[in-house]
Amino acid sequence: MAKVGVWLVGAQGSLESTVVLGACALARGLAVGGGLVTELPELAGLPLVGLGDLAFGGWDIEPVGLVGHARALARDDAAVAESLVAQLEGDLTAVEARVRPGFADGGGPANRPHRSRAFLPRSESPAAAVERLGDDLDRFRSERKLDTVIVVNVASTEPPLPLTREHQRLDRLKRLIQRDRRALVTPSMVYAYAALERGCPYVNFTPSSAIAAPALQELGLKHHVPFYGSDGKTGETLLKTVLAPLFRYRNLEVLSWEGFNILGGGDGRVLADPRHKRSKVRSKGGVLAGALGYAPHAGVAIEYVPSLGNWKTAWDFVHFKGFLGTKMSVHFIWQGCDSILAAPLVLDLVRLTEFAQRKGEAGPMTHLACFFKDPLGVRERSFVEHFRPLTSHGSRGTRCAGTRASCRRSGRAVSSSASPTPKGHTRGRAGLGRGSGGDQGPGPVQRRPSESWPTGACLVVSSTGYE
Alpha-carbon distance 441 to 70, whole Å? 44
Alpha-carbon distance 85 to 76, whole Å? 13
What is the residue type of 192? A
In what helix (H) or strand (E) does residue 281 lie, and over which residues does it extend?
Answer: helix 274-285
Alpha-carbon distance 309 to 157, whole Å? 17
State the pTM of this model: 0.84
- Tell me the DSSP string of 19-37: HHHHHHHHHTTSS---S-G
Alpha-carbon distance 180 to 165, whole Å? 17
pLDDT tens profile 381-396:
999 999 999 998 867 7
pLDDT at 434 over 70: no
- Residue 106 has a pLDDT of 52
Q: In the predicted model, what is the mean pLDDT of the chain?
A: 83
Query: pLDDT band at 73, cuts 50/70/90?
Result: very high
Alpha-carbon distance 352 to 157, whole Å? 24
pLDDT tens profile 39-62:
999 998 899 999 999 999 999 988
CATH topology of domain 4-232+341-410: Rossmann fold (3.40.50)
pLDDT tens profile 5-32:
999 999 999 999 999 999 999 999 999 8
pLDDT tens profile 319-329:
999 999 999 99
Quick one: CA dihedral 69, 75, 78, 84, positive or negative? positive
pLDDT tens profile 166-223:
999 999 999 999 999 988 999 999 999 999 999 999 999 998 888 999 999 999 999 9
Q: Please, are residues 314 and 268 in contact by the beta-carbon 8 Å criterion?
A: no
- Residue 56 has a pLDDT of 97
- Residue 257 has a pLDDT of 96
**Omega within 30 of 0 (cis) for the link into 230:** yes
Class of domain 236-337: alpha beta
| For the chain, domain boundaries | 4-232+341-410, 236-337
- Residue 423 has a pLDDT of 33
